[in-house]
Structure 1
Amino acid sequence: MNNFRHFFRAGFVLCVLLCMFLGGCSSGPANKYGTFNENVPLVTDTAVLTGKLDNGMSYYVLGNPKEENRIFLRLAVKAGSILEDDDQKGVAHFVEHMAFNGTEHFAENELINYFESIGMAFGPEINAYTSFNETVYMLEVPADDPEMLDQALLVLHDWASALTFDETELEKERGVVIEEWRLGRGANGRVQDKQLPFLFNGSKYAERLPIGDPEIIRTISRDRVIDFYKEWYRPDLMAVILVGDADPQKLVSAIKKTMGTIPAPEETRVLPEYSVPPRTEADILVVRDPELKYTTIQILEQKDFRGIKTAGQFREEVIKGMALSIFNDRLAEKTQDADPVMLSTYAGFQQLAKTSRFSYLGMIPQPGRFEEAFEMMITELLRLQQFGITETEFSRKKETFLESVEQDWLNSETVLSSERIGDLLQVFLYGEPMLSKRDQYNLYMQILPYITLEDLNGAVENWLTGRGNIMMISAPESAADIPDRAGLFNLWQNWIPEEPLTPYEEDNSSRPLFEDSDLPGPSGKITAEKKYSKTDIREWILSNGAKVYFLKTDFMSNENLFYAFSKGGASLVQDRDYPSSIASIDYALMSGLNNFSAIELEKKLAAKTVRVTPWLTDSWEGFDGISSNKDIETLLQLVNLYFSKPYFTDSAWASYIIQQKAVVESRKNAPVEQFINIIWKLVYNNDPRRQRLSENLVAEMDRKTAEAIFRERFTDAGDFTFVFVGSANEKELKDLCIKYIGSLPSSGKKEDARYTGKGFPSGVVSDTLKMGIEPQSRVYMGFGGDVEFGPEEYELFDIFMSLMDIRLREVIREKMGGSYGVSVYGSLTGYPKPRFLISIEFGCEPGREEALSDAVIEQIHWLQNTAVPQSYITKLRETYRRSSETGFKNNKYWQSRITQSLMRGIPVDAIKDTETTIELITPERMRQMANTYLDTGNYVRAVLLPQDAP
């Protein structure tokens, strides 16, 4: 399951600022903020049907026809690890696991088998998680068969009240839970073990991590597991939430019919509420670990927080978000210096307990420069506190936020059920209302125009008092640049810059991003066009040879996805220049465009919904991007500039090389990173063009060569194919393509990539790495080689990967309890040379590597020699049918299918022909594929063992 093991990680604490303000409100009387009343309580969308059953269970129902033929279901229980007794640590999570191992109406694994048989995959559509304060079960079912909804509600009924806790299944599941715990160990797990008690300051949260105590999981009695279930899984602590393409009233009736039969308990324990005691004095924690990849510094301050429930609180969150977004922009600029002492930075706030959250400021310093980096971070904090935010920054950020709100509103009619059901979870669990998109938009429009620069500067003062009162540092044991505790305290609380601080300054070029004079030539014209009748895809061939494909959709009201590709890639680069090709894309991105630095370019695009990113692989080069309708011209301008006016600077190169050296250094003591190095060497047969980042590789990178490679690969637009999928106006897009793509130069030459690999090794090749202090092992098994195949094989290959995933999960996880999960992934490549690679990877207890590897080989032989049972074929067919059903209502799916078809030479009109693929999913075809792709006499195997393993 998706066990929620830790909010607060030993490295980055990601700050997703725009996501913090979701909510809304209806209008109030006019005051200093306009038509806005800060005391008005936020109210949940009136389209939501909500109530309580006689047994005390809550329900929330929302119809959403935009995500067609799907109903999303949640069972939320206000019972998490915080409620465990001392001898039950980990039981809340254990109960969650047992919910999938037998209920009154679904014995053992019948539950998962049923949902897979109707096309719902374990993981994406069938899952659960446990946190400190809640456990949430998640299902997704098609809406076209009432029986499927009935069965899904019956599952929720059983989860809520009728788990069987079969003794045999419970014993097997102990191993799975322990393997999940083992998977989370390592340097970050050990750091977390010390940081969380320190951060939670003696509260119960410090002693109740949801993953629990593995020794308790190994030995706890069945009765004590059931005790937790009986005590806390009760209707008054539960809610059923349904969102989807169905009549809401009928959904309510179905809930009442099935869930209303659960009896209310005669006696109940009061649900306690736990808090984190505020820290009264400044304190420091330093944690060192031999396997940590880098040093992190975080200063924090605990704040009381009980959710966003009024319009005034909503406004405060928006203001804080704007202010911190600006501060993060400033910090990010420092990481792009020619000699960056801060490699990564982050500022924000995050809720860790139900009644409090932490403001934080942190960074990763360049190795060996701790004090210098810390002083820079404090300098920027003091600069912000002393001088505040500038008018220019404020105006730009307000414009950015207004643009984001506008785009969200334009797409509000196509909001996904998966998003809405997440919002309704917050309503039940934390009392934060989920407002309608219209009320949310109206509230933003009442707030944003009236926010002032003074408001933002006030939020800065309230975000972090002084320099905070908590400092946490995690570092490799070898880091010699960290002062002792007294020195750290003095640096943190008392250091001041030698020179007086000055306000933040920036260069604000008024020059537009693109002018018509920037066009490299006259606009082209369309020489041929075509419409594919079965898919409605348009094809335009421009006079310079470039091809454009466009599919107009209405899945999102204001979204356009973009992709472009051309043959060649890094395969056309000489061996000696290959290291520089690796650097070429990042070098271009870190430099900028059209004589704008990367920082200047970001500011030019701040108030636009647009992104274009070049990419380069061994056989291809191209672009990936997205834009709103009104910014699609900017997208094409950016594409034009990458061809005609890329920009390369010495400072960007210097910064890039320093960062790459830091990455190399950070990997040296990390067992998993060194394990991946071994896997690469085995799989790619020590190919010098297939190596991971290393000191030697970085040393061979050359600035001028990297620039030359980029210019060479992105110079001839006539050899490119451009794909657009989305809501753009067809005539407008066509005219823009004629102007911005058609004006690009073309030599008329068509390139081909060359195969540069050494080929998959012969025989059984293996290697073992002994590294790491945790009792955890990992096993990798890779199968690969050359292969001949037809165009239908691409999709069948992915389906075969799903078959292996299901079978190995059933045997390795469910039957043997040997691993939390087995990852099965593969690639089938037809260009420039047909070949394949299948990877199987899992973690396990030391000592079980051989037995589990043998079990994998045994299952491969089973697939090769046995007609796959029809139950598996049904699962594969239905999963493919249902995933295609939803995919064809999704821009990203269409973009991927169109580009894959074009790159593979498959007619785009065949994209919707799913029935042909379904007919090919047969027991015999799956058996043939097992024999084609899984030669047990020719594979590679890598094993990671603890350093003290015998």
Structure 2
Amino acid sequence: MPFSSRALRFVLLLPLLAQPLAAQRVAPAAPARATAAAPVAIDRTPWLYKGSDITPDPAWQFGTLPNGVRLAVRRNGVPPGQVAIRVRVDAGSLFEKDSERGFAHFIEHLTFRGSQFVPDGEAKRIWQRMGTTFGSDTNASTTPTQTVYKLDLPGATEANVGESLKILSGMIAAPAIIPAAVNAERPVVLAERREQPGPQVRIGDLIRGTFFAGQPLADRSPIGTVETLTAGTADTIRAFHDRWYRPERTTVIISGDMDPEVAMRLVAQHFSGWKGIGTAPAEPDFGKPDPSKPVSATLVEPGVPVLVAMSVLRPWHFNNDTVIFNQKRLVDTLATRLISRRLEQRARAGGSFLQAGVDLDDVSRSANVTSVNVVPVGDDWEAALRDVRAVIADAMASPPSQAEVDREYADYDTAMRTGVETARVEAGAKQADDMAQALDIRETTTSPQTSYEILKDARAKGMFTPETLLASTRRIFQGDATRVVANLHAADPAAPAKLAAALKADVSGLAGKRRAQAAVTFDKLPALGRPATVTAREKIAQLEMEQVTFSNGVRLLMYPNASESGRVYVRVRFGGGWNAVPADRTTPAWSGELALVASGIGSLNQGDLDQLTAGRRLGLDFDMGDDALSLGAITSPADYPDELRLIAAKLQAPAWDPAPVARAKAVALAGYSGLEASPDGVLSRDLEGLLRADDPRWKTPSREDVNKLTPAEFKRFWAPRLASGPIEVSIFGEVKPDDAIAAVARTLGTLPPRKGATGPAAPVRFPAHNARPVIRTHSGPDTQAAAVIAWPTGSGVTAIAESRRLDVLAQVFSDRLFERLRNEAGASYSPSVASQWPLGLTGGGRLVAIGQLSPDKVDFFFRLSREIAADLAARPVGEDELRRVLVPMGQQFLRASTGNLFWLRQLSGATFDPRLYDATRSYPSDLVAVTPAILQETARKYLRPDTDWTMAVLPRDKGSATAPSSAR
């Protein structure tokens, strides 16, 4: 809904966003195709629903151009002004010959370099001038079965949508697959391949190779091989393009704030002239599961937790997407959810495995697969697999109770009903992505209401009973082949045979007695005290929010905004966050996210709470921020009062179940193996602590620290933190103000007044400038390294405008680093630069550049980063370069500010620090005020050569060699 503050934001950003389209256009690199002068006849047959009796979603309009290009278009105003475009090509890595592995993905890269209507590298800049952010608004993805080109165009007009479709049509039909482009992009593609996490890639390759042995999917990873990518030429890559990139294999999907008829006309204008080259190829055969192939396989990857993956495979075949087909699949879905819940209950109780779950999926049109994934406690995979199979065998032996069935149905019903209630605010980008996914798996889409009706009709038919779920369970665990793969931490030549034997071992009767969950109501929660009274209530100028103070000191920030129908965001902040954690020793702070919520409330454990919230939109998400802890959830207008009650009970009477603490320790210890297996793992382990001068609050705890944590110590650390610090409640969404105030009064308002954090917060320090980089090593491939360079900045609300100038500076830096490190040198696939300015800490701000690259390019990264920093300080950026950063940032703000979550994040803590209100209001004016001169001044102030800090992560066998130079 329109309101004054939004109008103010738009007015302030108009000078930034206004620019004639003519200035965005670039002369074509090649002669343009002639587009049809006369209107193109579009066949309006709803092709998606051929063979289906599902009620079509009336919001989607369909069409087919005379050349075979298909269209799916709908109007959607979320966020306002944005048009989401997807161009899907029905071709992926499964369409490649042996010598073409990786070509489908290579073509995705080449299309963004240059094509029929734009010269090399210019498409990114054109779309930046239109307000897009590269990587999030403009991107593409290649899977085994499709390639999808993505554009989320903000501030869309008929002119810039038409220009974008013209560019996309040239990218798809006529990319510049020429030797110069191929040779320039090849290092980038190889860098992307090199930067993939080695252990995970090897496990994924083994799983595909074992599960799909005898089928193309077994060795058709989209990234390809070094050999084929190196051997690829413009001619061979173009041959793949010309064979599979054809009009009849292409669908243009548009969901956005635009008249669908206009969108269809523009698609027809720019795509109807495209003609395929040569004869259309036959559809490839993806094969069937081969029962003659080996049953089991293992590998040793110490950098990944021990795990077991099991699958039951059946041939995939196309099914008409009918109502009854979907209803039968819903029965199967509930059957897998029920088994997964039993497995989770067993894991919580301290079983032999940390995690286990069952899923059912059609995989890349190659097989229908029931998959089981198990993470053991420690290294004993045999016990974990035995216990998981025992639970599955028990589920196949006898039916579940009706109460179990009803429990799973209630949660599924809630999820689908939520989809109906929030359909009006579903983003156009999600709808476009969902349509592309539906096409990939050969299914239809329909409205959330129709989907919900299909679910309810299945229940009315009596399809969800103990007997039907038993039959489903037995069916989904039968197939043409059963396979199992395990990752171990120590070599065992007998492991494959042991795995194969484990699949046949009799596990009947080992599951033990099924756990019957007792009914739980809100009456089981601890009783709350007397409601508070309101002592102050005031409106927040220009923001249409209210701040309310209660007699017990609780403060409420309320935004009764119904623009997101069916959603209410609840967040309760309390305590002191990281500021209140000791800075002179290690603590159990790491354990909160893993165990605090799961420890229960009063006499109720996590299983009881799951039962309590069944069929409701209730939850408890815990977060530890810089200056506060928080509990919250996204709930509904009907459920938010009980969400508040749940949080109040957690703060008043937290339980201290020891089982979640034991599980948290096991989870943390299982993760250590990956922290040294790759540059990324080392960075995740060490970088935050190093960038804060080894402050123990941000250092990863040692194995010894994790092992020594006891339930008693866990309680000693967390109990006072749950009980201290002022409480701020934020309620944003579809609520009535008086009702929301009353709900807070009788929940959080019943808690006794709380003491503030004791003592001043410890300052956060940046590490001293180093002449040579800090060196860490990893145990992964010797082709992988990482480099980090950082400069100290600032923190706090007072200088918030400075933080926004640094955000702009970081984006300019990032664009330059991307162009030179990736596009020109091919040294890194995804270098990044970011500014972090903590509002709630006394220090800790920094601007950080990170690149993953080969070890021999580490020095080059440092040299190039310093060259960019020096140039930004020495001379102003160009007007066009600045606009290509400011316009996307302004559009990101406009889009984000239409949602409640944006305001919730910006204003958390504002009831106790009113400066945050002004800081939020000032964002547009701060952004508009950035000029080349101001940006240069900011660079001079912060990007100083005498303050930077560097770090390199090298392969272990190279880490002892001479460290990369940090000298200029």
Fold match, TM over 0.5? yes
SS of the residue corresponding to residue 140 of structure 2 reads strand
Q: Deviations over 1:610-655 (max 9, x none)?
A: 1222333453222232211111011101111121110002333333
**After superposition, where does 1:132-143 map in structure 2 within 5 Å?**
132-143=144-155
The residue type paired with residue 601 of structure 2 is L
Q: Does 1:145 align with 2:154?
A: no
Structure 1 distance, partners of 2:555, 2:928, is 33
Q: Does 1:725 align with 2:732?
A: yes
Contact 2:569 2:733 in 1 (8 A): yes
Shift of 1:461: 0.9
Q: Residues 47 and 919 of structure 1: is their aligned pair in 2 closer, same or farther, counting only changes over 3 Å?
A: closer
Q: Does 1:276 align with 2:284?
A: no
SS of the residue corresponding to residue 553 of structure 2 reads coil
Q: Does 1:158 align with 2:165?
A: no
**After superposition, where does 1:69-88 map in structure 2 within 5 Å?**
69-88=81-100
The residue type paired with residue 827 of structure 1 is Q
Structure 2 distance, partners of 1:902, 1:783, is 33
**Residue in 1 aligned with 2:671?**
663
Structure 2 distance, partners of 1:752, 1:49, is 62
**Residue in 2 aligned with 1:494?**
505
Identity percentage over the alignment? 17
Structure 2 distance, partners of 1:631, 1:270, is 55
**Residue in 2 aligned with 1:435?**
446
Structure 1 distance, partners of 2:629, 2:437, is 43
**Residue in 1 aligned with 2:471?**
458
Contact 1:768 1:943 in 2 (8 A): yes
- How many pairs align? 907
Q: Does 1:110 align with 2:119?
A: no
Q: Does 1:228 align with 2:204?
A: no
Shift of 1:419: 2.1
Q: Does 1:774 align with 2:781?
A: yes
Q: Does 1:741 align with 2:748?
A: yes
Shift of 1:726: 0.9
Q: Does 1:554 align with 2:530?
A: no
SS of the residue corresponding to residue 518 of structure 1 reads coil
**Residue in 2 aligned with 1:484?**
495
The residue type paired with residue 189 of structure 1 is V
Q: Residues 561 and 351 of structure 1: is their aligned pair in 2 closer, same or farther, counting only changes over 3 Å?
A: same
Shift of 1:295: 1.4
Q: Deviations over 1:332-384 (max 9, x none)?
A: 112212x4320111211233221422111120112232222222111111111
Q: Deviations over 1:191-236 (max 9, x none)?
A: 3333322222222222332111222222322111222222222211
Unaligned runs of 5+ in 1: 1-22, 27-38
Structure 2 distance, partners of 1:64, 1:936, is 49
Contact 1:467 1:493 in 2 (8 A): no
Q: Residues 384 and 472 of structure 1: is their aligned pair in 2 closer, same or farther, counting only changes over 3 Å?
A: same
Q: Residues 502 and 914 of structure 1: is their aligned pair in 2 closer, same or farther, counting only changes over 3 Å?
A: closer
Q: Does 1:345 align with 2:352?
A: no
**Residue in 1 aligned with 2:889?**
880
SS of the residue corresponding to residue 485 of structure 1 reads helix
Shift of 1:773: 4.7
The residue type paired with residue 105 of structure 1 is F
Structure 2 distance, partners of 1:144, 1:489, is 57
The residue type paired with residue 352 of structure 1 is V
**Residue in 2 aligned with 1:218?**
230
Shift of 1:675: 4.9
Which of 352, 360, 367 aligns to 2:371? It is 360
Which of 486, 497, 500 aligns to 1:473? It is 486
- TM-score (norm: length of structure 1): 0.90
Structure 1 distance, partners of 2:840, 2:274, is 58
Shift of 1:714: 2.0
Contact 1:299 1:468 in 2 (8 A): no
**Residue in 1 aligned with 2:343?**
331
Structure 2 distance, partners of 1:871, 1:904, is 38
Q: Deviations over 1:753-810 (max 9, x none)?
A: 5125454223335233443352422223242446476122233333332222212111
Shift of 1:504: 1.6
Q: Deviations over 1:373-408 (max 9, x none)?
A: 222111111111112322221121222222222221
Which of 516, 520, 529 aligns to 1:506? It is 516
Contact 2:77 2:256 in 1 (8 A): yes
Structure 2 distance, partners of 1:256, 1:653, is 60
Shift of 1:681: 5.2
The residue type paired with residue 337 of structure 2 is S
**Residue in 2 aligned with 1:799?**
808
Structure 1 distance, partners of 2:770, 2:188, is 33
Shift of 1:695: 1.6
SS of the residue corresponding to residue 802 of structure 1 reads helix
Structure 2 distance, partners of 1:652, 1:424, is 40
Shift of 1:311: 0.8
**Residue in 2 aligned with 1:422?**
433
Contact 1:299 1:467 in 2 (8 A): no
SS of the residue corresponding to residue 814 of structure 1 reads helix
Contact 2:210 2:297 in 1 (8 A): no
Shift of 1:692: 0.5
Which stretch of the first structure deviates more once superposed, 441-450 or 630-639? 441-450
Which of 59, 83, 87 aligns to 1:47? It is 59
**Residue in 2 aligned with 1:392?**
403
Q: Residues 92 and 664 of structure 1: is their aligned pair in 2 closer, same or farther, counting only changes over 3 Å?
A: closer
**After superposition, where does 1:579-594 map in structure 2 within 5 Å?**
579-584=587-592, 586-594=594-602
Which stretch of the first structure deviates more once superposed, 661-670 or 289-298? 661-670
Q: Residues 92 and 537 of structure 1: is their aligned pair in 2 closer, same or farther, counting only changes over 3 Å?
A: same
Structure 2 distance, partners of 1:389, 1:205, is 36
Structure 1 distance, partners of 2:749, 2:532, is 4
Q: Does 1:614 align with 2:622?
A: yes
Q: Deviations over 1:654-684 (max 9, x none)?
A: 3333333333355465664345444345323
Shift of 1:300: 0.8
Shift of 1:741: 1.6
Structure 1 distance, partners of 2:765, 2:491, is 39
**Residue in 1 aligned with 2:657?**
649
Which stretch of the first structure deviates more once superposed, 40-49 or 362-371? 40-49
Q: Does 1:101 align with 2:108?
A: no
Contact 2:791 2:942 in 1 (8 A): yes
Please give the root-mean-square deviation of Cα atoms over the aligned residues, in Å: 2.7
Q: Deviations over 1:877-922 (max 9, x none)?
A: 2112211221121121121122275676534266355441232221
Shift of 1:928: 2.3
Structure 1 distance, partners of 2:180, 2:365, is 36
Q: Residues 701 and 574 of structure 1: is their aligned pair in 2 closer, same or farther, counting only changes over 3 Å?
A: farther
Structure 2 distance, partners of 1:773, 1:791, is 41
SS of the residue corresponding to residue 280 of structure 2 reads coil
Q: Residues 415 and 650 of structure 1: is their aligned pair in 2 closer, same or farther, counting only changes over 3 Å?
A: closer
**Residue in 2 aligned with 1:13?**
none
**After superposition, where does 1:48-63 map in structure 2 within 5 Å?**
48-63=60-75
Structure 2 distance, partners of 1:915, 1:343, is 47
Structure 2 distance, partners of 1:394, 1:471, is 29
The residue type paired with residue 622 of structure 1 is S
Q: Deviations over 1:228-267 (max 9, x none)?
A: 22222221111111111111111111111121122344x3
Contact 2:290 2:481 in 1 (8 A): no
Q: Residues 532 and 861 of structure 1: is their aligned pair in 2 closer, same or farther, counting only changes over 3 Å?
A: same
Structure 2 distance, partners of 1:764, 1:773, is 27
Structure 1 distance, partners of 2:238, 2:676, is 46
Structure 2 distance, partners of 1:400, 1:757, is 44
Shift of 1:543: 0.8
The residue type paired with residue 819 of structure 1 is S
SS of the residue corresponding to residue 248 of structure 2 reads helix
Contact 1:664 1:694 in 2 (8 A): no
- TM-score (norm: length of structure 2): 0.89
Q: Deviations over 1:45-73 (max 9, x none)?
A: 23322121121211111112343211111
Structure 2 distance, partners of 1:351, 1:177, is 29
Structure 2 distance, partners of 1:614, 1:159, is 45
Q: Residues 528 and 762 of structure 1: is their aligned pair in 2 closer, same or farther, counting only changes over 3 Å?
A: same
Which stretch of the first structure deviates more once superposed, 526-535 or 159-168? 159-168
The residue type paired with residue 314 of structure 2 is K
Shift of 1:282: 7.6
